[in-house]
């Protein structure tokens, strides 16, 4: 399911996303800087947000989300991608998601993506916010 452009507000307390249906979500905290990739632990939800150059809009995709109803995704503007173990998919230019066992991996190069790349990893107890600030040392082609 492809995403649609949604509102983004970068604040001191975190990243606010405004969905098409008017709801907002705050991903708390200043995102940790990551170089090249972010790997989520087993059982963690993985959300990828790529902003436009103005950092006021972006596109968000849920990786391997089986819980959210299709209608909710359509109304919110969020996309979804399902990747099987060992597979990879380029969800946006410069942003590749993959699956290794029960772990989701996001590999990105912000220069190719044309904006900032955020990865939010959460479950019922914890949340983590990351920003991929540099492409992978071995280049994106090594991860396609």
Summarize pLDDT for 44-63 with one digit per residue, the tens: 999 999 999 999 999 999 99
The fraction of the chain above a pLDDT of 90, given in percent, is 92
Q: Region 115-122: what's the mean pLDDT?
A: 97
Closest CA to 4 of 57, 55, 68: 57
Of 134, 119, 132, 133, which is closest to residue 27 (Cα–Cα)? 119
In this predicted model, what pLDDT tens digit does every residue of 98-109 receive, in sequence order?
999 999 999 999
The total domain count for the chain is 1
Cβ atoms within 10 Å, residue 111: 10
Find the length of the chain: 144
Q: Which domain holds residue 113?
A: 5-142
Residue 124 has pLDDT above 90, yes or no: no
Local confidence band at 141 (pLDDT 50, 70, 90 cut-offs)? confident
Per DSSP, the three-state class of 69 is: coil
Tokens of 55: 């950092």
Other Cβ atoms within 10 Å of 66 Cβ, number: 7
């Amino acid at each position: 399911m492809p995403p649609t452009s949604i509102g983004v507000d970068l604040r001191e307390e975190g990243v606010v996303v405004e969905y098409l249906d008017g709801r907002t979500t705050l991903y708390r905290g200043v995102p940790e800087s990551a170089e090249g990739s972010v790997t989520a632990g087993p059982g963690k939800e993985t959300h990828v947000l790529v902003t436009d150059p103005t950092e006021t809009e972006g596109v968000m995709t849920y990786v391997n989300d089986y819980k959210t109803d299709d209608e909710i995704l359509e109304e919110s503007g969020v996309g979804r991608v399902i990747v099987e173990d060992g597979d990879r998919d380029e969800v946006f230019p410069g942003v590749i998601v993959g699956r290794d066992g029960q772990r989701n991996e996001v590999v990105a190069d912000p220069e190719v993506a044309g904006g900032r790349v955020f990865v939010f990893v959460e479950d019922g107890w914890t949340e983590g916010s990351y920003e991929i600030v540099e492409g992978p040392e071995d280049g994106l082609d090594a991860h396609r």
